[in-house]
Structure 1
Amino acid sequence: MSTTTTTTAPPRTTQLRLSSGNGPVTRTVLTTPVREAKPEEVPIIDISPIFSPSLAARQAVADQIRAAATNNGFFYIVNHQIPTTTTAAAHDAALAFFRQPAAHKEPVSITHSTYQYGWKPPQTQRVNPFESIDHRESFSWRYDPVYDPSVSSPSSIPAHIRQHIRHDANGFPFSAVPPPFKAAVIPCWQAVLSLGRALLHSFALALGLDETTLDAKFTNPDLGMALNYYAPLPSSSATAEDDESLVSIGSHTDFQLFTLLWQDKVGGLQVLSREGQWLHAAPMKGAFVVNFGDYMQRITNDRFASTVHRVRNVSGEERLSMAFFFGFNLDETCDVLDSCVGEGESKRYEPVACHEWTERRVRAMHDVRGRMGGEGKSIHPRAIGSFCVPSTLYLVVTS
């Protein structure tokens, strides 16, 4: 009697080059085409119970978040209590801003800011030095207590926290933007700030902590906002869809605790699964996308994933997204939580000051040269630690 043995060839892979705050890294990526994410890969979580007086109801949401965090680290949230009118107003104001000629946007350019807040023109950002220059322009800023409803007066903030809060004394860029833009964008930022503080309790519960455990690190959070405008990727002899090096924003992880992203209906966000498969995270009306960053991976000793993602706008249409990046107070230290170190385990990360980690990760954010060659703009040293744009994993600093 004879038997036949059938062998299956392993899936083909390639190496995605990235770097981290601690040196170069690579990720193994399947060469199979990008596909739509399955519900279990990027789940939808109804977070309305987090506003309930019932701890059991709040814990149930935290359990779903923990499942998503230990899977691919990306999920959608719905019923978050931010009115669609608030996000729609900010979206419309941002779109009107970006559609203006460059000369009309120049007065709010980063060149007029001590910390390079404001408008960043096309071809000035490259978050992955091994991929193309980002095909986007953006408007960004970071936490200013003047706009935080929980702060009675900026002078009331303790000095050890206040010394790390960087913003222009003249209120730039919002002192220079058209009034309708400010009137739409600031309320959106405030609404998301409130939501982020509520979600922080859910994240604590997801980690098996008392829900207020992290609050002291989050009184004046390093919250950045980036309005990103993506023109369609240009076509070439190899189509934009096939040329993997051509990106709207390059492959990266976010460097802080967590990110809330509102995206329009166009799409283009892609998430790298733990198996190395690129997944489309399709837009969902009224939802925010949530993902975790490097802070969260560090403090959880790798239990929660800081997931690589990118944007490739091959739709042929313009795309706009609004991203909100939440970090701890910059005077805080990012250290592994004791509750995330199991029996027989050790802490995989040394403590790092939040302001030092931020500085480490954003040094090259405006270096469009990277290791790829070519001319580009470099970041001014005084702007180190000041950008409210997604982080990348960097190999070198050439600014």
Structure 2
Amino acid sequence: MSDFTSIPIIDFRRLRDPATKPATLSQLRDAIFLVGFLYLTNHGLESLTKRAHSELPGLFDLPSDVKESVNMINSPSFLGYTRLGAETTASRTDLREQFDFGSPGMKEWTPDQPIWGRLEGDGQYPTPEAKSLVEEYMTASATLSNEFLRYVAECLSLPSTTFDTYRGGMDRLKFIKYPPSPADSQGVGPHKDSTGLFTFLSQDSIGGLQVLNKSGEWINAPPIEGSLVVNIQQGFEAITGGVCAATTHRVIAPTDTTRYSIPFFMAVRLDLTLSQLRESAKHIVERVPVSDNTRKRAEDVPSEFLSEKFACFGEAYLRNRVVSHPDVGKRWYPELYERYSREVLK
């Protein structure tokens, strides 16, 4: 089968309809194996995503001191505000401004827990209105993503509950602003999403998202009104033994307008070790129907979750956060910051 040149569209209503479910599961399977990206339409969150986008300009227009009061530097969980140019991807500066949030109600970390347990903690909110919106958005997205995950299991010829036990405790949500920038600037550089299982992205109408196919070509993922762009994360890649590979993607910064986006990151369990994963997921890998014609190769950006350097997903993800947000890493994880900084410079 030839390489993909566009992003497939999956109608969620057709997955819920017994009459159209089998054919749509087949389409979903091809999207998972061959592309790792898809548009999800008729998902039921259209009015919520539209309302959230309408509130983003006002949120980013808050006074600088208000935004800085919830700066990510305050959070060992890497939650809060990141000013323009404070994050790096692929060793280059990302030209975006953002707020990071996590699922509410997380238990406080204690010193008897692994250090990576600090990744799950309380969020920071610039206004009460923002907190209310975030909690509503995360609750709705968690419900949708859990249902989607069961359809993914079914499309891979697995029981619908197969992946439930891999579900993590704290999902993440970003509100992102890409301001007008010089031509060919990096909104966010080439990467694979590292926070868990699947990402559910709500774009505005501007565009700029690109997906790398296995031939090394960047394929545009233009906005489709009301849709969510869904992609595989490194956690799901690891759970399926690399069979369902995450796809590298990037955002080209806009040149003459502002772009907003809202990605929701479905969490994976951070305590899963590679040895546990090999054993507990063996039946998954064995039952996934795959061949050279259906497997999407992904050799562009190595998946940290598949690296022998890390004892568990939590360690891999903490390394990712420290490298992406060195100021936060230096404050809360100074020893890890020094170690990973040396690795990056090599």
Quick check: 1:312 aligned with 2:257?
no
- Select the residue among 315, 321, 343 that pairs with 1:396: 343
> CA–CA distance in 2 between the matches of 1:115 and 1:166?
4
Q: Could you say what secondary structure the match of 1:68 adopts?
A: helix
Q: Which residue of 1 aligns with 2:204?
A: 264
Q: Which residue of 1 aligns with 2:94?
A: 134
CA contact (8 A) 2:68 2:81 kept: yes
1:57 offset after TM fit, Å? 4.8
Q: Mean alpha-carbon deviation: is it higher for 183-192 or for 327-336?
A: 327-336
> CA–CA distance in 2 between the matches of 1:112 and 1:378?
8
> CA–CA distance in 1 between the matches of 2:75 and 2:83?
14
RMSD: 3.1
Q: Which amino acid aligns with 1:198?
A: E
> CA–CA distance in 2 between the matches of 1:61 and 1:126?
38
> CA–CA distance in 1 between the matches of 2:57 and 2:233?
27
Q: Which residue of 1 aligns with 2:8?
A: 43
1:299-326 superposed Cα distances (whole Å, 9 cap, x missing partner)? 2233222111110123410011011112
Q: Could you say what secondary structure the match of 1:88 adopts?
A: helix
1:197-241 superposed Cα distances (whole Å, 9 cap, x missing partner)? 1111012112221001111222x534111111101222xxxxx14
Identity, % of aligned pairs? 28
CA separation of 1:139/1:307 partners in 2, compared to 1, >3 Å: closer, same or farther?
same
Structure 1: runs of 5 or more not aligned: 1-36, 147-153, 235-239, 368-376, 385-393
Q: Which residue of 2 aligns with 1:340?
A: 285
Greater share of residues in helix: 2
> CA–CA distance in 2 between the matches of 1:381 and 1:116?
11
> CA–CA distance in 1 between the matches of 2:29 and 2:318?
29
1:141-161 superposed Cα distances (whole Å, 9 cap, x missing partner)? 223346xxxxxxx69xxx999
Q: How many residues align?
A: 309
> CA–CA distance in 1 between the matches of 2:311 and 2:37?
25
1:115 offset after TM fit, Å? 2.8
Quick check: 1:110 aligned with 2:72?
yes
CA contact (8 A) 2:177 2:258 kept: yes
TM-score (norm 1): 0.69
Pairwise mapping of residues 168-183 of structure 1 onto structure 2 (< 5 A)? 168=121, 171-174=122-125, 177-183=126-132
> CA–CA distance in 2 between the matches of 1:92 and 1:340?
42
Pairwise mapping of residues 1-399 of structure 1 onto structure 2 (< 5 A)? 38=5, 41-52=6-17, 54=18, 57-82=20-45, 84-129=46-91, 132-145=92-105, 164=117, 166-168=119-121, 171-174=122-125, 177-218=126-167, 220-234=168-182, 240-241=183-184, 246-255=185-194, 256-333=196-273, 335-336=277-278, 337-338=281-282, 339-341=284-286, 353-367=312-326, 377=327, 379-380=329-330, 382=332, 396-397=343-344
CA contact (8 A) 2:73 2:328 kept: no
> CA–CA distance in 1 between the matches of 2:63 and 2:344?
32
Computing the radius of gyration from Cα coordinates, the structure with the larger value is 1
CA separation of 1:76/1:263 partners in 2, compared to 1, >3 Å: closer, same or farther?
same
Q: Could you say what secondary structure the match of 2:189 adopts?
A: strand
TM-score (norm 2): 0.79
> CA–CA distance in 2 between the matches of 1:326 and 1:200?
10
Q: Which residue of 1 aligns with 2:300?
A: none
> CA–CA distance in 2 between the matches of 1:172 and 1:215?
25
Q: Could you say what secondary structure the match of 2:324 adopts?
A: coil
1:341 offset after TM fit, Å? 4.0
